Structure formats: structure tokens, C-alpha cells
């Protein structure tokens, strides 16, 4: 048994070393130091081009790993790179290497780690799969806490199209994924994925761009669909109460998801609300400041994204499809979730949409769980009791 664990540790360390070496080599050899990504990013302005950071890795890998946690992992550098390299991947591998070698200190990210642990705990999780269920709604943590009424409205609406729709209140563990806690992430996510597949689930409907990214990349045996692509196929009555023009915040996690971005814009138009895209949108969108947990270790760098957004918003209302973006951009200007606009347009456009903040978000999640447990009969159902050692 001990030998097996030693073997696992050896091969995991070897994999981490090969992954970081390959990523470092790619950036060092292919980055032409054109400066395009540096102009866009406060993090790179402070620490240098991706090549400079890569070249410093061998001599200062512990320091470089610490620097990596200040990156928002938003992929803007990847999107604008003329030679198509992926610096974000390098910074993520640096994080993973630091964790695997015991050099990562998550004291500053304690709130984020604890948020995730609560989200995967028995207290907050609920899996409700009715008989004949092969499709379920996975709303995500932030939406369930800040807008539980939207989750219930969305579920009821989707039931018209998926009569045996199931519900899963759980966390996709993207925080651990982005913090480089690779072994922990894979253990937690795989347990959930295997449970769903073994119980006949084929399709996951997600309302959160982060959850979409995780399930789309790691959800083997599952089809991942955005609820916004489904909703955009319907007819929605235009709202008569139209405010001034709005603008749309694309989540940086969804910067390469064209269909998702177009679906949200179609929904906004369907409600009769005019919008103007900001300079940075779609594939070139800006992070709201929450990405990668960077705001915990480098608040000034992460806050730069919000400042850039404020300059581009121009006083317009912001519509987003990420509950995290909605929370972080509220300080920039009036920000609403697209589901607010769909299900309660009058109240939303009057600035009266109900939105909760912590610690009330946790109460909302417990109440939402209670309501779903009593909503209908499930076969099977569970509260998640699986946990993984660090």
C-alpha cells in the first residue's frame, strides 16, 4: 500500500516536472517579445514579457511560481498573441508545480478555498435525479447564492423542455483547478463525474461560464450545454420599459466560446434592450478582477481590470452572464445578470432586482436546497459526503 502511494507520488511529480518544462520551453523559444500582451496587462507590465518570466524560471523557479499566483489566468495574452502561444498555460503549470512541491501557501486565498469546501460539503450539496432523468441543471455556487429565485425560475422554465430534468447543487471545484491544486481537483471532480455517468446522466445544463469550462474540458461521458444557448432559441416578449443603452460583459472564461457570447446578445435583443459592445469584448474581453484568485494576492493588479472596465463602460448598465462578474463589477456601475433581465425585466430595469451578498448567500443556498428537496420525488438523491485529503 505504501509503495503504491510512493509510486503515485513519483509519477505525479514527474508529470508535473515534464508539464512545466514543456510549457516553459514553448514560451521561451516561441515568444517574440512583441509587447502586444504587455500593453494589455498590468501583471505583465510589472513582471515582464512571457519570455522573460520563462527564462527566469530555471534560476528563480520558486519566485516565478509565487509570481504566477498574481496572474488572473484570463487568457487575454493568449487571445492577442500573434504567434499563438499560450502564456496562461505556463502560469497555471507554475502554480501546479508549486503545489506539487509544497511551495504554495494559500493563507491569502483562504476565503476562496473555504468557499469551495462549503460548496462541496454535505451541508450545501444536493443531487436530485427523478426517474428517467438523463439531463440536469447545474447552476453553480455564485448564482445559487446571489440569485436563488433565478435558479428556481430557470429550472421551472427548462422543465417544459426537459420533463425529467434533474438538479445538482454542488461546486465544480474550479477554484482548486485554478490554484494549481491539481490532485485535489481531479479527485473531487472525478467523483462527481463518475456518479453522474453511472446514474445515466448524459447532458449537463450549466448557467455559469466557469462550470461550463470545467465540464466541457473534464466531463468525460457528459455533454455540456449552456442554458443561454437553449433559452436563445425561444421567443421572448420585448420589454416596454427600456432604459438607456446597456453594454455586455463577456466572462474571460468564455472568451473563446462564440456561440455562448452570441446567445447572450440574442437574449438581450429579444427583450428589446439596445446594447453597445465595449472596446474589449468577445475574444478580447477583460477579466472583471476575480479571475484566478489573483485579487487575494495582488489586489492592485486585479483591480486594474475593473478600472479598465470602468473607463469602457461609459456610465451604461452592465449585463453579464457570470454571477462572479456581476458581483465584482457592481462597484463599476449598475450590473445585472442576464437571467434577471429575462425573468423579471421590469424590476431589473428599474434597479430593483433582488441580489444577495455574503453571508446571506450561504443562507440562500441552504434554502434553495431545502426547496428542491421538497419539490418532487427523486430516484436517486444524495448529499455529497465524499471528501479528499489535501
pLDDT value of residue 342: 95
pLDDT value of residue 242: 65
Please name the residue ranges forming H helices in 163-319: 174-179, 182-198, 209-218, 227-231, 258-270, 294-297, 299-313
Mean pLDDT of 192-199: 97
pLDDT of 59 strictly over 70: no
pLDDT of 241 strictly over 80: no
pLDDT of 9 strictly over 60: no
pLDDT of 58 strictly over 80: no
| Comparison of pLDDT for 213 and 19, the residue scoring more | 213
Mean pLDDT of 102-116: 94
- Buried b / exposed e across 58-77, counting CB within 10 Å, b at 16+? eeebeebbbbbbbbbbbbbb
**pLDDT, tens digit, for every residue of 277-294?**
999 999 999 999 999 999
pLDDT of 4 strictly over 70: no
Q: What angle do CA 277, 84, 80 make, to 5 degrees?
A: 25
Q: Tell me the whole-structure pTM to 2 decimals.
A: 0.93
Please state, rounded to an integer, the average pLDDT across all residues of the chain.
92
CATH architecture of 2-100: Orthogonal Bundle (1.10)
pLDDT value of residue 302: 87
Which letter does DSSP use for residue 177 in this model? H
For residues 216 and 330, give the distance between their C-alpha atoms in angstroms, rounded to a whole number: 28
pLDDT of 5 strictly over 80: no
pLDDT value of residue 12: 55
pLDDT value of residue 351: 86
Winning range, highest mean pLDDT, from 14-18, 19-23, 324-328: 324-328
For residues 134 and 154, give the distance between their C-alpha atoms in angstroms, rounded to a whole number: 18
Ordered by start, the domain boundaries in the chain are 2-100, 108-383
Among 84, 31, 75, 80, smallest CA distance to 55 is for 31
Grid cell digits, residue 9: 507520488
Amino acid at each position: 500500500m505504501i509503495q503504491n502511494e510512493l509510486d503515485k507520488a513519483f509519477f505525479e511529480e514527474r508529470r508535473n516536472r515534464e508539464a512545466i518544462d514543456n510549457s516553459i520551453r514553448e514560451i521561451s523559444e516561441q515568444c517574440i517579445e512583441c509587447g502586444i500582451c504587455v500593453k494589455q496587462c498590468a501583471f505583465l507590465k510589472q513582471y515582464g514579457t512571457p519570455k522573460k518570466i520563462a527564462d527566469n524560471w530555471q534560476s528563480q523557479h520558486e519566485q516565478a511560481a509565487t509570481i504566477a499566483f498574481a496572474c488572473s489566468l484570463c487568457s487575454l495574452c493568449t487571445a492577442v498573441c500573434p504567434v499563438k502561444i499560450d502564456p496562461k498555460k505556463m502560469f497555471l503549470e507554475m502554480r501546479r508545480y508549486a503545489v506539487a512541491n509544497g511551495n504554495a501557501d494559500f493563507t491569502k486565498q483562504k476565503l476562496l478555498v473555504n468557499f469551495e469546501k462549503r460548496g462541496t460539503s454535505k451541508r450545501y450539496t444536493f443531487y436530485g435525479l427523478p426517474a428517467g432523468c438523463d439531463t440536469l441543471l447545474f447552476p453553480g455556487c455564485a448564482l445559487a447564492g446571489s440569485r436563488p429565485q433565478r435558479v428556481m425560475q430557470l429550472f421551472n422554465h427548462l422543465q417544459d423542455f426537459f420533463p425529467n430534468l434533474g438538479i445538482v447543487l454542488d461546486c465544480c471545484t474550479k477554484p482548486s483547478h485554478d490554484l494549481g491544486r491539481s490532485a485535489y481537483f481531479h479527485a473531487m471532480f472525478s467523483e462527481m463525474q463518475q456518479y453522474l455517468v453511472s446514474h445515466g446522466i448524459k447532458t449537463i445544463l450549466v448557467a455559469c461560464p466557469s462550470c461550463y469550462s470545467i465540464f466541457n474540458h473534464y466531463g468525460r461521458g457528459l455533454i455540456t450545454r449552456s442554458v443561454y444557448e437553449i433559452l436563445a432559441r425561444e421567443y421572448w416578449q420585448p420589454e416596454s420599459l427600456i432604459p438607456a443603452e446597456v453594454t455586455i460583459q463577456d466572462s474571460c472564461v468564455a472568451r473563446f466560446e462564440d456561440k455562448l457570447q452570441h446567445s447572450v446578445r440574442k437574449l438581450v435583443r429579444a427583450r428589446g434592450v439596445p446594447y453597445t459592445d465595449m472596446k474589449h469584448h468577445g475574444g478580447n474581453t477583460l477579466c472583471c478582477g476575480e479571475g484566478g484568485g489573483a485579487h487575494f494576492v495582488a489586489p492592485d493588479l486585479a483591480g486594474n481590470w475593473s478600472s479598465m472596465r470602468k473607463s469602457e463602460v461609459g456610465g451604461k448598465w452592465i449585463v453579464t452572464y457570470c454571477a462572479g462578474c456581476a458581483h465584482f463589477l457592481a462597484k463599476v456601475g449598475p450590473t445585472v445578470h442576464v437571467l434577471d433581465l429575462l425573468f423579471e425585466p421590469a424590476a431589473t430595469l428599474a434597479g430593483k432586482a433582488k441580489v444577495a451578498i455574503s453571508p446571506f448567500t450561504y443562507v440562500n443556498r441552504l434554502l434553495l436546497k431545502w426547496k428542491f428537496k421538497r419539490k418532487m420525488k427523486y430516484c436517486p438523491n444524495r448529499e455529497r459526503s465524499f471528501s479528499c485529503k489535501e
